Structure 1
Amino acid sequence: SKIAFLMLPGLGTKEDIKEAQQNGGSICRIATHCTEADVSIQHFGLARDLGLETVGFLMMAHTTPPEKLAAQARIMADAGCQCVYVVDSAGALVLEGVSERVEALVAELGDDAQVGFHGHENLGLGVANSVAAVRAGAKQIDGSTRRFGAGAGNAPVEAMIGVFDKIGVKTGIDFFEIADAAEDVVRPAMPQECLLDRNALVMGYSGVYSSFLKHA
């Protein structure tokens, strides 16, 4: 296992990347809005110079068509990113929308960088969209136990592993062990469950990210 850390240019700095590495981080995930990949160039350069594994997040990917998203992915890859993610921040993408974007990135990046997918459950499609991403060529997929994440949560990794097992996608993760960890370790530690409630559902339907709820 590895420790990854996420930084957003403009909120985090290059010094934060150095500090995160000193504290055990080995994967640097750099996130920008899906039309602003150019603000990440210097940060990817530093991360690679430090010997970190690099991942790029193109957030709110549903707001940008596949060909333009692929052009933004190229900016990240040329800057040193080793895997560029289609990030469905609002949980608004539906199946074909995921496939089209992942396929566009795979075609653009080729062997220069891998493609990943990060899904949310606001329309209840986190796992299904992750399957669509894998079938479209994604090599890295995000998930979290008990859906822990923004809105209705991230794609539940315990369910994802079960589905991947059934369709023949090898993950190296034991289904029963991750299900036990989700139920016996993570659930008791959560202050509250991530719910597909009305707020989350409307955010997914409307394509709005949930961070404003902390201040509403």
Structure 2
Amino acid sequence: VVYVVDSAGAMLPEDAYARVKALKGALAKAKVGFHAHNNLGLAIGNTLAALAAGADWVDGTLRGYGAGAGNAPTEVLAAVLDKAGLNPGLDVFKLLDAAEYVMGPILHFQPYPDRDSIAIGYAGVYSTFLLHAKRIGKELGVDPLEILLELGRRQAVAGQEDWILRVALELKEREAGALAG
């Protein structure tokens, strides 16, 4: 299985559709999967778009448990698929019970799109950048959201956390130059 993974939760439904469709076309014999994050509130919509494009596998987690604003909630996905006549055999009510009575007591928070996760999705950067951007932003007096947006413009990907300090320093210099000029 080859996966399209929206780790930043930045895709729009048309992006999910296009990427899955492209993989299905290029790898005709391969199974294609899709993994969504809900940072922009689009995990379910993107998963539906991926299925419409021919995805063979899609991911979900009970109560959307996952990084940022979480993943596509399995119980919601099951209900939507059932309502759309696309249920692959999931028991919607058992999943609702599992989400409520198994995951509910375990999770001390409900993942949802908050300021931080929306910023990650909007910037299109991986969630591990957030804590670094906040720490460095605080140390240098630079807005962490500006750091994330600039990292997104530069198309930074996971593993490039060393860029965060460089970007923050450049933003601070740019701000100082604007104030002096």
**Quick check: TM above 0.5?**
yes
Higher relative contact order (CA 8 A, sep 6+): 2
Say whether residues 1:106 and 2:24 are aligned partners: yes
Spell out the pairing of 1:37-56 with structure 2 (5 A cutoff): none
Identity %: 50
Is 2:31–2:55's contact at 8 Å kept on the other side of the alignment?
yes
Equivalent position to 2:51, from 134, 139, 160? 134
Is 2:116–2:130's contact at 8 Å kept on the other side of the alignment?
no
Spell out the pairing of 1:97-176 with structure 2 (5 A cutoff): 97-111=15-29, 113-176=30-93
Structure 2 portions without partners, runs of 5+? 136-181
Q: Pairwise CA RMSD of aligned residues?
A: 1.1
Say whether residues 1:85 and 2:6 are aligned partners: no
Question: Structure 1 residues 170 and 195, CA, compared in 2 at 3 Å: closer, same or farther?
Answer: closer
Shift of 1:214: 4.8
One-letter code aligned to 2:109? Q
One-letter code aligned to 2:122? Y
**3-state SS of 2:26 partner:** helix
Instruction: Measure, in 1, the Cα distance between the counterparts of 2:90 and 2:105.
Output: 22
Is 2:31–2:56's contact at 8 Å kept on the other side of the alignment?
yes
Larger radius of gyration: 2
- Give TM-score, length-normalised by structure 2: 0.71
Q: How many residues align?
A: 133
**3-state SS of 2:54 partner:** coil
Structure 1 portions without partners, runs of 5+? 1-82
One-letter code aligned to 1:108? A
Higher-helix-fraction structure:
2
- Give TM-score, length-normalised by structure 1: 0.59
Equivalent position to 1:179, from 88, 93, 96? 96
